[in-house]
Structures are given as structure tokens and as C-alpha cells.
Structure 1
Amino acid sequence: MTEDRRGGQAAARGSDGRGDHDARTGRGATDEGPAPAPPGSSPRRRRDARRNRELLTDAAHEVFTEQGLEAPFDVIARRAGIGNATLYRHFPTRAALVNAVFRDLLTHTMTVGEQARTAEDAWSGLCGYLAEIFTVLASDRGANDLMTTHLEGVQTLETVHAHNRETVDILLRRGHTESTIRTDVTTEDVLFSFAALGRAVPALTAATTPDAWRRPLTLFLDALRAPSLPPSPLPTPPLTPPQLATTLHELAPHGGSRPGPHEKR
């Protein structure tokens, strides 16, 4: 793909994963709006700029879903049919592009959290909330990277993390009062286990079925239940030995799974 001189150096950094410190961390990210049109630009140029931005965000979502958030920028540009230099004019950092792609999804996550807070009881609220999140983690590798790790500079993500923590904290305190959740369980217990289990979901579903995550999530949730309550029936069949071997292979650094946002290739 032809690149102009202004975009060539930046595109090279994005394509091989080296020298892309700002793009990886999101430092220096600007707002999520479209790149400002030059003074005196024509309506047609502004329309073209909007169209290019839409093509880039659509292509980025597809590539992030397939490859994770570390997908090279030149792959995204090729998928969109647009030059690398144009991509960098719209999204100067990886964080800016991630924020534009996943802003609506992250906002929806907060809406689900608000609904969970007003559930009839804390236990059903927590179970429904985590099930909604895990549905996303199983279907979108980019969203999985985003929600189970920390990527600096994604403004909406920082808001979601704070909201998620508050939601879990509210539900745990209610559950302690309602005697449905163990009183020694902390918010950090839930958030750590959520992230660890969530990272394994893509490998698990690739080796088994799209809803295979429901079984380990149920086991995790049962560990949070008050001892006086009976355990939940386990959904979906258990892993077979070959499925376990395949899942563990996918999780290993040499396996088929992609590195996370802060891992080296």
C-alpha cells in the first residue's frame, strides 16, 4: 500500500510493533472526535473524512475481534482500503482508535451495571451482570483484551473500570446484608478472579463451544455464595481431556492465542 512521506515512519512503527510506545500505552491520546478539517475545506472533503473514519473504525473492530488489541495498524488500514497516513491523521495513538471502536460497547457495560444494581436481590444482580460481561468476552477478542487488562489513555475504559468496581462493591455489600454472599469476599477477590477467568475465555470457547464459559463462571460464582446456600447446577458439559489439552495449549505463550496488550511478541 502506498504511503506518503509523512505517514511512512509512523506506519512502520505500527506495522512491526516496535517503536510504538505511545500507540500501545495511549499516552498523548486526544479526544475521540474526527480529525479537524483544514480551514476552508469543502463539504466533500469533510464527507470523505467522515467516511474514512467510519471505514477505519469498522475495519479496526473486525481486526481487533480477530487478533486482539495489538493488531498492527497497517493490517487495519489495508482492511479499510485506506493509507496508513490517513489512519494516523484520524487516530494518532492506539488508545485513540481503541476508544473510538469500543466506546459504545463500554458505555453499554455501564448500563448493564446500573441494571444489576437495581436487581431484586444482590445475588441475581451479580450473576446477571457477570454473565452479560462474559458473553462479550467470549465473542470479541478485542473487547476481552480491553476489559481484562489495563490499557492507558482509553478514557471511556477508565470510566468503565471505576463503574465496574463500584457495581461489584455495591452488590457485595448488599449480598452480605442479605446473607447470600460470603462476608469474607472482597471486591478485589471478585475483580481479580473475573479478569483471570475472562482472559481464558477465548481459548476455552475456541477449543469447545461458544457458551463453554458458563460452567467455570458458575463454579466461580458458587465460591462466592454464602455457605448456607446450596450450590448451583453446573451448565454445559465438562471438558474432555483433549479439550483441556487444547485449551491449555492456546493459553500457553507458544500456543495459538495472541499476546495481551502489554506482552512482547
Structure 2
Amino acid sequence: MTSRNQNVHGTGGATDSAGQPMRSDAERNRGRIIAAARTVFGRDGLHASMASVAREAGVGIATIFRHFPVKEELVAAVFADRMEAYAQATAEALANPDPWDGFTGYIEEVCAMQAADRGFADMMTMSFPGAEALEALRAQAYQGFLELIERAKDSGHLREDFTSRDLVLLLMANAGVLSATGDAAPDAWRRLVAWMIQSFQAPARGPLPDPPEDAALYEAMRRASQGMGSSEAGKRR
């Protein structure tokens, strides 16, 4: 469950841990922290330290933890708008009258969103059970993607053994390529995505190994998010 002082959109109206409105200086600090985290996470990914965010914001690490006791809450504040865009991309894809164009356009759009922000690339391969607003948007996008899959299969363009878990694997692979290539080969991800889209197309060239179970993928994503914050624990003691 998100804490009472969390405002996931990073806008005004923030409250303290007792649910009271923040003083103007405290709210300004909170805004500076969120803006700094956008910069640091976007550049370095979610494994960047809270100390790095504090330096970027020009505040002490104690100030960071007063506003965001756990890193997950800061991630939720920073990426709420991007998760809304992610969910909206599904709705726009479903509005495309061509099922295959809608399906492939959605995959390209989501992977482009990853490429534009390393923090978002990481977040798409992690699960944050305590960030209820983020997870609700993720679930909304997931339900829309299931419909995209069925439409593309019904049109005869998508191979029958494609599952929603294949998108998770693609996002994980894309995040890895983005992390490895960085600014040395910033468009390398496009080739990966193009290859994968062609492999998804019917008719299938041959059988595939079974996909991982949903529970196994969720556990992998959960562990990734736990690893993101593990290095911070000692800094608070």
C-alpha cells in the first residue's frame, strides 16, 4: 500500500505522514527531489542510488527519506505519468482498424518509450506491489494487450502460439540491449524489435519451447525491484 504522503503525480497538494498539508518549503523540496529523480533514473536507470538523487536535487539524503521512506515510493511519484501513457498506448492501438498494425505499432511504441528513458525501461521489467496506482495502470494496459493479441490472431497475422508473456520477455530483452549499448549504439534496440516482430508473424516457422509461467515471470520482476532498493538499506541505518 502506498504511504499517506505519496502523491504519485508529483504535483501540488502533498501531505506529510500525518496527512496534514506540507509547508511550502517542504513541498518545494519534494518537487525538487522528484525532478532530480527523473533526471537520474532516466540517465542511469532505477539502480541509481538515492544518494545520487540527493546530490542532483541539492538536498541531504535524510531529506529524501523523509519524503520517500522507501525507494519504491519515489519511483511511483516519478513514473506515474509514463505509466498512464503506457496504458493510453494500448487504447490507441485498439482504436486502429487494422489489427496487425495496431499490435505491431503498440510493441514499437512501448519499446520506444523504454529507449527514451532508462528508468522506465527498468520499471517495465519490475513489479511494485506496494505502488497500487502504478500496478493498476499496468493491469489496465495488460488487459488491453490481451485484446490486441486476440484481434491480431483472428486476422491471421499473429502466430497462434504467441502469448502475453512473450511481450514481457521482449521488454526484458530490450532493456538489456538498451543498458548494454547506451549512447554508443542508441538505435540498436530497433533492430531487435524488428527481428522480434517478424518472428511473431504467422505462419510460424517452427515450434517454440514453452513460455515461462506467469508466476515465474512475476517472481523475476519482483526480485528485480527488490534488488533495486537493497543497496539503500544500509544507508538509512
**TM class by smaller structure:** 0.7 to 0.9
Distance 2:131 2:140 in 1: 14
The answer for the alignment partner of 1:76 in structure 2 is: 53
Query: Secondary structure at the residue paired with 2:138?
Result: helix
- Percent identical among aligned pairs is 31
Partner of 1:176: 153
Counterpart pick for 2:81 among 72, 80, 104: 104
> 1:37, CA displacement in angstroms?
8.6
CA gap 1:261/1:167 in 2 versus in 1, 3 angstroms:
same
**Uncovered stretches (5+) of structure 2, i.e. residues with no partner:** 8-13, 205-223, 232-237
Deviating above 6 A after TM superposition, structure 1's stretches of 4 or more consecutive aligned residues are 37-41
Q: Give TM-score scaled by structure 2 length.
A: 0.76
CA change 1:47–1:28 in 2 (3 A) is closer
Aligned positions, number: 206
CA deviations on 1:129-169 (whole Å, 9 max, x unpaired) are: 11111112112111111011223322233123212321221
Q: Point out the more displaced range, 175-184 or 160-169.
A: 160-169
Identify the residue that residue 29 of structure 2 maps to in structure 1. 52
CA RMSD of aligned residues (A): 2.8
| 3-state DSSP of counterpart to 1:149 | coil
Within 1, Cα distance between the matches of 2:115 and 2:67? 29
Larger Cα-atom Rg: 1
For residue 6 of structure 2, the aligned residue among 18, 32, 39 is 32
**1:115-154 matched pairs, under 5 angstroms:** 115-154=92-131
Give the whole-Å Cα distance in 2 for the aligned partners of 1:116 and 1:31.
35
After TM superposition, the score normalised by the length of structure 1 is: 0.68
Relative to structure 1, the CA distance from residue 40 to residue 172 in structure 2 (aligned partners, 3 Å threshold; closer, same or farther) is: closer
1:190-213 deviation digits (Å, cap 9, x = unpaired): 233323322223135427532221
Is this contact kept in 2: 1:61–1:101, CA < 8 A?
A: yes
Structure 1 spans left out of the alignment, 5+ residues = 1-26, 229-259
The correspondence for 2:169, drawn from 156, 175, 193, is 193
Distance 2:56 2:184 in 1: 29
